Amino acid sequence: MTTPRNETNDAIASAARAEAAPSVDTVVDAEAETPVDARQAAINEAKEIATVVAVALALVLILRTILFQPFTIPSASMEPNFYQGDYIIVSKWNYGVSKYSLPIALPVIKGRLFNHQATRGDVVVFKLPSNPKVDYIKRVIGLPGDRIQVRHDQLYVNGQAVPFTVMGSVAANDSPGGQATLQREFLPDGRAHLMQDMVQDGRADDTEEFTVPMGNYFVMGDNRDNSLDSRFSPYDTSEPGVGFVPEENLEGRAIFILMSWKEGSSIWKPWTWLNFKWDRFFKGVQ
């Protein structure tokens, strides 16, 4: 017996096979979109990286402009507390903002914004008044209105002798005898710091009495016999000094020594890059 053909069942089976078969058009379209998606993903990733870099650079600029900045010690004028090769960190927010505390001096800023007076005994980095392109580091000894004088190697502030104690001797390459007297000086406001005296009756051991103008500071180096500071006139043609330092010239206060390199080390001498003075890493500032 011949089984009659069921056309309805055949139609349903054909439709099922058609649905189960892969769509050639769909597969081809999906493969064609893949390069486009990859390019878009690469563009998005590049944008994300650029955003991260821009934010990082902005944060670095803000930190360097307002908060902290590194400096290197170029001379022996602040021994025995700072030595050539010391790499120090300076806090820039203590005294407010001036055109000299910014990476680029802006002439529109006059004086200091959010000004806070320096404290006697602060170690400050400032722009040299006679040449603002040069950075100096000294210790604040005289505040606005103070009277400062040195008599027979003794510091006087407002007519009162500043006491000190002799701690012993220390090696000093810039001393005629290779040695200096190590002293601890006690400033009127109660702060104390180390200093060194190399010669008796030096040319800065007896000075006139200086009256610090308002808005200015009187600064001195801790290496008293080897420091061109406020005791010396900036108009001295033989050895120009600092004179009084206007408050707007202050860049910041030294807060600690980050690291230090031995004498003779240089960025231009790669073989000296690891010549560290390990005992001077992360030292605080007196």
Where is pLDDT greater, at 220 or 1? 220
Residue 126 and residue 245 in contact, taking contact as beta carbons nearer than 8 Å: yes
pLDDT of residue 16: 47
Other C-beta atoms lying within 10 Å of the C-beta of residue 64:
14
Residue 281 and residue 260 in contact, taking contact as beta carbons nearer than 8 Å: yes
Residue 229 and residue 219 in contact, taking contact as beta carbons nearer than 8 Å: yes
- Residue 278's φ and ψ, nearest 5 degrees, are -60, -30
**What value does the mean pLDDT take over residues 72-93?**
93
Report, as residue numbers or ranges, the catalytic residues. 77, 138
Residue 270 and residue 261 in contact, taking contact as beta carbons nearer than 8 Å: no
pLDDT exceeds 80 at position 122: yes
Other C-beta atoms lying within 10 Å of the C-beta of residue 252:
23
pLDDT of residue 3: 44
Lowest mean pLDDT among 37-46, 73-82, 135-144: 37-46
pLDDT of residue 170: 85
Percent of the chain, pLDDT > 90? Answer: 47
Q: Report the C-alpha gap between 245 and 218 in whole angstroms.
A: 6
Residue 215 and residue 115 in contact, taking contact as beta carbons nearer than 8 Å: no
pLDDT of residue 198: 85
Q: What is the pTM of this model?
A: 0.76
Percent of the chain, pLDDT > 70? Answer: 80
pLDDT of residue 105: 60
